[in-house]
Amino acid sequence: MENIDSSKFHTLNMKYKKFYIALGFVLLLVVLPALTYTYYNIALNRPAQGFKEAQFQIEEGEAISSIASRLHAQGLVNSDFLFKVHLFSQGLHTKIQAGVYNIPAGASVAELALIFQHGTNDASITFIEGWRVEEYALAASEQFENVDYNEFLTLAKDKEGFLFPDTYFFNADVDEEEIVELLGITFEEKTAGILAPRALEAAGLTKTEAIIFASIVEREVSDEEDRPVVAGILIKRWKNDELLGADATTQYAVAALQVCAPADGMEVELWTLEDCWPAEEDAKLVNWWPRELTAGDLAYDSPYNTRVHAGLPPTPISNPGAQAIEAVLNYTDTPYNYYLTDKNGITHYATTLEEHNKNVSEKL
């Protein structure tokens, strides 16, 4: 039998040890900071454990450590340490204002940091599920002196669908940038669980597709039990490359026509929503969701009009609430291919076009 040189094995073993030590050191330098950063961001936007609105007063000159401690004691933050770290790391510790604040239920550390920069909260505003950003802009500009309708619309237009509808508390001197930012933060917080990657994968949708569908469902039906069924019908049509045929998309496309006219010489069928940006006074006159649609409306050539164009609209058509989003992610497969909602808000379903036409003649 051949003699084994134990010194060679010892040398080889030492090389492996050095390799694993080096690998562990690299992982420590790369993975640990990444995990820490991820945890920090999750914790920063996690809603507090408190389930009720609360009033909180910050005294003039009060130390950040005192504020953080009292917030934690009242259940308004999950971690007083995280609250302090966020304020100091972002340079916000010098911007906290004394005053009495109405704290919304489940506010996160990031939200509180924004809220506490504006003194006493003395006004609330409610953004309704299914509103479009023009309606948001009108409500905010009417409620707050420093909010400009056009500036709000500029900031919010490309965020249609991702500004969470809810009741918010602000100081009277709040501006449009702060409102839009908080609405966006709240959307991410409130929908993080609903729009989890696993849920999206199970539904066969991307995040944007899910919100577009939810924005339509929010406008099409209001009953909680009907929403998953209608979502299923719309998703079935979409997967089959059929027209969605949702009236809400037509309403979105044609609403501004009430106050806007095509430019001289422009063919109406070539004119799109982007050609019209109603001024604030004109926007107040618009019925943004016209129920009575004409034949011309239904045939209006806009990428948002799903009675004309197959596929999804380019963007969401409204800002949906959590219930509509959940309905899309948990849509119901049924044999139905058609639906309509009557003037009493009752939704009627049909499998065949003949049955649907009968519903149209009898229910509308």
d(CA 308, CA 215): 18
At 257, list the tokens. Answer: 């026509």
Contact 56, 103 (CB under 8 A): yes
- Give the type of residue at 143: Q
Alpha-carbon dihedral 84, 90, 95, 96, rounded to 10 degrees: -30
pTM: 0.71
d(CA 255, CA 273): 9
| pLDDT above 50: residue 265 | no
> Residue 268: its pLDDT value, please?
47
Rounded to 10 deg, the angle between the 133-143 and 176-191 helix axes is 130
The SS3 assignment for 340 reads strand
For tokens 């164009």, name the residue: 309
Q: What is the DSSP string of 179-200?
A: HHHHHHHHHHHHHTTTT-HHHH
d(CA 250, CA 317): 10
d(CA 350, CA 327): 20
Average the pLDDT over 232-241 and give the result: 97
At 16, list the tokens. Answer: 């492996």
Share above pLDDT 90 across residues of the chain, in percent, rounded to a whole number: 48
Chain centroid to CA 332: 22
Q: pLDDT band at residue 249, thresholds of 50, 70 and 90?
A: very high
At 320, list the tokens. Answer: 């949906």
- CA distances for 235 relative to 37, 245, 323, angstroms: 37, 12, 17
Contact 124, 102 (CB under 8 A): yes
Q: pLDDT band at residue 27, thresholds of 50, 70 and 90?
A: low
Rounded to 10 deg, the angle between the 176-191 and 322-329 helix axes is 40
Residues 6+ apart with CB under 8 A from 122: 171, 172
| pLDDT above 80: residue 103 | yes
Contact 312, 244 (CB under 8 A): yes
Q: What is the DSSP string of 40-87?
A: HHHHHHSPPS--S-EEEEE-TT--HHHHHHHHHHTTS-S-HHHHHHHH
d(CA 298, CA 249): 10
Mean pLDDT of the chain: 84
d(CA 233, CA 59): 55
Q: pLDDT band at residue 237, thresholds of 50, 70 and 90?
A: very high
